[in-house]
Copies of this chain bind each other. A is one copy, B any other.
Amino acid sequence: MTRFLPMLLLVMVGYCSSGWAANTTASTKTSDAPQQWQLQSPDQALTLALALDGQAFSYQLSFKGRPVLKPSRLGMAFKDQPALQANLKVLKVTPRTNNTSWQPVWGQRATIVDHFAELVVDAIETGTNPRQLQLIFRAYNDGIAFRYHLPAQPHLNKVVISNELTEFAFARNFKAWWIPAYRNQRFEYQYLNSALSSIDVAHTPLTLTDEGIAIAVHEAALVNYASMTLRNITDNHITLTADLVPWANGDKVYTQTPFSTPWRTIQVADSEVALLDSDLILNLNEPPAKDVELGYIKPGKYIGIWWEMHIGQKDWSPGPLQGATTERALQYIDFASQHDIDGVLVEGWNQGWEGEWWQRPPTFSFTKAVAGFDINKVAAYAKAKGVRLIGHHETAAGVQYYEQQMDEAFKLYQQLGVNSVKMGYVGTRVDQNQWHHGQYMVEHFGRVTETAARYGVMVNAHETVKDTGLSRTYPNLMTRECVRGMEYNGGSPDSGNLPNHTVIIPFTRGLAGPIDFTPGIFNFNYQQHRPNNRVPSTLANQLALYVTLYSPLQMAADLPENYQGHPAFAFIDAVPTDWQQSKALQGKIGEYLVIARQDKHSANWYLGATSNEQARELSVKLDFLKAGQSYQMISYLDAPDAHWETKPMAYQITKSVVKAGSTIELKLQPGGGAAIEFIPIQ
């Protein structure tokens, strides 16, 4: 077992009122004597210690004096040359702090504080033809991050990375919430809850909990690299190792110096719910290029011809059940124009959906409409009604096929005034044999994002690479699925989601970025074609999801006729998709969640509370409201006899007046929720 040896050299790097603690002497000695450097978060809760011992680096982490990670190895293995891990000496150690803030184009808050202490360690091998390595560590109040940077150098140029040797040697057997990696349905699994030791290989974000602590491991700024999964290589122990998703031939990453790996991130908080207010992932991404046009990027709500296919009333294929018809699209546009709905999605609008399209190489046209769907007429009608048509590119995981048509496809949308596209990559592998999460797909999706930006189109991607905060750099990267979404409650013949699913994913998948979960089902009676399926929530829970599941593009997933004249639709009309501030108030993963958010463009607040299959009562103190201000509170609540399984549609709307600091009692029924709007009284 690796033990952490006593420090010989300690460089304290941290934020404190008196400035830098201790010295920052660069060490260039080649002795085998262990060296250690320490980095603290601005609030000093997190302490990261880096050690060079036996000429190899390891790091460890503690939170308020409590061990999080034991000494954990760092390094990188290459094909056809030795690993870069041993025989290292430190050339230079450069500390830095940053305390700035920035304004995202859209997001969970209008201003994000970017406050960290940084340590850049320049190292070089001790032998002949030495290779250079830079390790960059940052400590924020909400977590730590590190990345490898390999500068341009004489003895390392083009490389094939065969393995990243990054370890996460957890200090104890935490409870883990995870989805397995390397499965056919990508991220579309319900979460597993187990001891950390029972993980085999997990996707990130991986969320770990224990009394008084919550941890999430993920990555930020995944560019020209492979996704990281976390593998228990010591089977049944508690050290996880970075496992990069390979190309079909087993190689992990093709790259060339200079390059940086994505940031490896470890968010840490006192509680599970406190993880939800972290901005770590976004902070670790670059700001957008200065000259880039961003005016077309607008968060908003959308509806679409979609759920009726999932519940078996309609079909994507042409023919008698064809969902995408001109007439139906015009109905959606009419509904959108009468409500605060910005866009209308039409799936199956284009040619190539005949039969079992997911079983064959793609035959889609991305520019030609199917018979029965007059895209020009629909686009013109939408424009006249002040509604945007939303494009749709299903690729059936045929990436090369898609790229051939991509420019034409986006150009068409630009011409039609379509400023957002939902794209899909349904399939167990991309282009027959590539994982959805390897460098192959990362690079493809980068090209998609850039092409879309070039044509002024926002991206909402399904079955794609996980979010790592790149929307900071590419603000047209709005939202994505990468979760077992609402569709499983309709389209899947038998395996709908469990009621606890939506109180797990904000604490896991949600830490990565926006989720296009597509909430808002109002009509729970769709068992005609789906006898074994139901949406596992009440109607009030469906409304609350607009607050608890963050997305700048938020679908109202049900059919217009199920919304038409429904009093509860007023909440969907009202709820914003862009926020001044967001506060996760209460919650326990898999059990319940309460979040409050303030509209970015008004003083209104919105609160969402959701429960799992258990009924529960929650006291919520309204201390997020503006002191001294009175608000009209419009509450969309479970009726006393509501139950996700037996009476999901039973809800009630109540109105009252509240002030900041008052406490409200919420009764959530099984699978239930509460959605509340607070409007300042002038």
Contacts and interface: CB of A to CB of B under 8 A. Distances in A.
A197 interface: yes
Contacts of A171: 532
Nearest to A195: B190
Contacts of A613: 211
Interface residues of A, number: 43
A183 B195 contact: no
A237 B185 CA distance: 11
Interface in A171-188: 171-173, 175, 179-180, 183-185, 188
Contacts of A238: 494-495
A493 B1 contact: yes
A236 B184 contact: yes
Report which residue of A70, A169, A170, A235 has the largest number of chain B beta carbons within 10 angstroms of its beta carbon: A235
B180 A190 contact: no
B494 A239 contact: yes
Contact of A495 (B185, B237, B493, B498): B237
26 contacts: A172-B494, A172-B496, A172-B532, A175-B498, A179-B198, A180-B200, A183-B200, A183-B235, A183-B236, A189-B197, A189-B198, A189-B236, A190-B195, A190-B198, A191-B194, A191-B198, A192-B193, A192-B194, A195-B497, A195-B501, A196-B495, A211-B613, A211-B645, A236-B495, A237-B492, A238-B494
A1 B236 CA distance: 38
Contacts of A645: 211
A372 to B, nearest CB: 28
B237 A173 contact: no
Contacts of A183: 200, 235-236
Contacts of A236: 183-185, 188-189, 492, 495
Number of copies: 2
A237 B172 contact: no
A495 B498 CA distance: 30
Most chain B CB within 10 A, of A172, A185, A198, is at A198
A645 B198 CA distance: 21
A184 B197 CA distance: 13
A190 B194 contact: yes
Contacts of A235: 183-185
B200 A190 contact: no
Interface string A455-491: 0000000000000000000000000000000000000
Nearest to A614: B211
A237 B189 contact: no
A192 B179 CA distance: 11
Given A192-B192, A237-B495, 17 more contacts: A1-B493, A70-B532, A173-B495, A183-B200, A184-B235, A185-B235, A190-B194, A190-B198, A192-B198, A195-B497, A195-B498, A195-B501, A196-B495, A236-B495, A238-B494, A238-B495, A239-B494
Contacts of A492: 236-237
Instruction: Indicate the member of A192, A211, A493 with the most B CB atoms within 10 Å.
Output: A192
A173 B238 CA distance: 30
Nearest to A190: B195
The 6 A-B pairs at the shortest CB distance, nearest first, are namely A190-B195, A197-B495, A192-B194, A185-B236, A193-B193, A238-B495
A497 B197 CA distance: 9
A171 B493 CA distance: 11
A651 B200 CA distance: 38
A197 B190 contact: yes
A670 B212 CA distance: 14
Given A171-B532, A172-B532, A237 B494 contact: yes
A669 to B, nearest CB: 13
A580 B192 CA distance: 39
A113 B241 CA distance: 52
A170 B494 CA distance: 9
A193 B200 CA distance: 14
Interface string A219-256: 00000000000000001111100000000000000000
A645 B172 CA distance: 12
A135 B171 CA distance: 52
Nearest to A492: B237
